Structure formats: C-alpha cells, structure tokens
Amino acid sequence: MYINIIMAGFGGQGVLTLGKLVCLAADSAGKNATFFPSYGGEQRGGTCNCTVVISDEEIGTPIVNKADYIIVMNEPSYDKFKNSVVSGGTLIINESQIHKSEVLEGINQVRVKSDDIAAEAGNRLASNMVMLGAFTGFTKFVGEDVVKEIIKESMSSKKQYLETNLNAFEKGLGQGE
C-alpha cells in the first residue's frame, strides 16, 4: 500500500485536524504515515492544506505534487488542486461549498454535501468529520473502528464535541461509496 492525499480548504474548516486524524489512524493500524501541513499567516479564514502519505514501506518524503486522493473543502482549494490528482485518482469535493461541475478526464469525483450533513449531525463545523467518514468509507485505508478510536482519543479534552463528531463521521461513511 502506498497512497498520498492532499486536503485543502480555509483555515477554520478543520483541514489540518482531518489530516492529523488520517495520519494517526494509519499509524494506529500499523502503517507508516507522514503529515505535512501548510497554511498562510492568516490561519482562520486563510487557505491551508496538508499532505498525508500512508505506506506499508518506509516513506521517502512527505511532499506530494500529484495525489491519489484530494479532499477539497472550498472553491479556491478546488481551483488550486483539481489538476493535482493522478490519472485514475479521486477528488472528494465538499459540494456544500463547491458548485462547479466539471468533467475531469480520468479523475473520479465523489461529491459530498459535507457542511449540510454536518449541520444535520449537530454542528456545521464538523464538516471535516463528514469528509473523514467519506474518505474512510471510500478508501477503506483502515477500519472505521480504528478511526472512531482516534476521534475519541483526539477529543478527550473536548468531550462536549465528541458525540457530534462521531455522528458526523458515521453520516459521512456511506457518502463515498
């Protein structure tokens, strides 16, 4: 197994948290994983992205130019990264914010109304957890129980958000299939 992922959106959308959780879940399942964040000085409201590489073998570099999977949370991120998917790769799109409908030759597209689904789950800010569910359900990079445990561990100091985040994750699981 060797997959690389780019995740991108505005600061405040939980893109870096999403990347960390994917990386921690892969590590917890015994895989090698790297997490490489990038964000502007603005942080909340500015653009940010991260790359995660998951492998059964050693990872040479966390830097990714072309990704197997790209998760985009907003339209500027879609515009910036849509051409960075490898042929046969998958673009996972937050359709709540990205309304463009382009045919990208050789690229699979998974459209998830993650903001809307997160609102139904109890908090629109849990959109990243919906995307985590969609990514987990689509790729099966690790078992969903592994990801749930990582969510629980990462939310240990914010227990008031745990139920909503787990609910959002669950609602996202079937979105990518």
Q: What is the mean pLDDT of the chain?
A: 93
Give the mean model confidence (pLDDT) for residues 133-144: 96
pLDDT band (50, 70, 90) for residue 17: very high
Q: For the chain, what is the domain count?
A: 1
| Residue 11 pLDDT level (bands cut at 50, 70, 90) | confident
Q: What would the pLDDT profile of 70-116 be if each residue is shown by its tens digit?
A: 999 999 999 999 999 999 999 999 999 999 888 889 999 999 999 99
DSSP string, 60-128: S-S--SSEEEEEE-SHHHHHHHGGGEEEEEEEEEETTT-------TT-EEEEE-HHHHHHHHT-GGGHH
CATH number at residue 7: 3.40.920.10
Is residue 12 scored above 90 in pLDDT? no
- pLDDT value at residue 99: 92
pLDDT tens for each residue of 151-176: 999 988 888 889 999 999 999 998 86
Grade residue 42 by pLDDT with cuts at 50, 70 and 90.
low
Domain that holds residue 135: 2-173
- Is pLDDT above 60 for 43? no
Query: Alpha carbon of 87 to those of 66, 91, 95, 104, 160: distances in Å?
Result: 9, 11, 22, 10, 41
Query: Of 34-43, 92-101, 133-142, where does mean pLDDT reach its minimum?
Result: 34-43
pLDDT of 177: 65
Is the model's pLDDT at 2 over the cut of 90?
Answer: yes
**Statement: residue 41 has pLDDT above 70:** no
CA distance 176 to 118: 15
pLDDT band at 6 (very low <50, low <70, confident <90, very high): very high
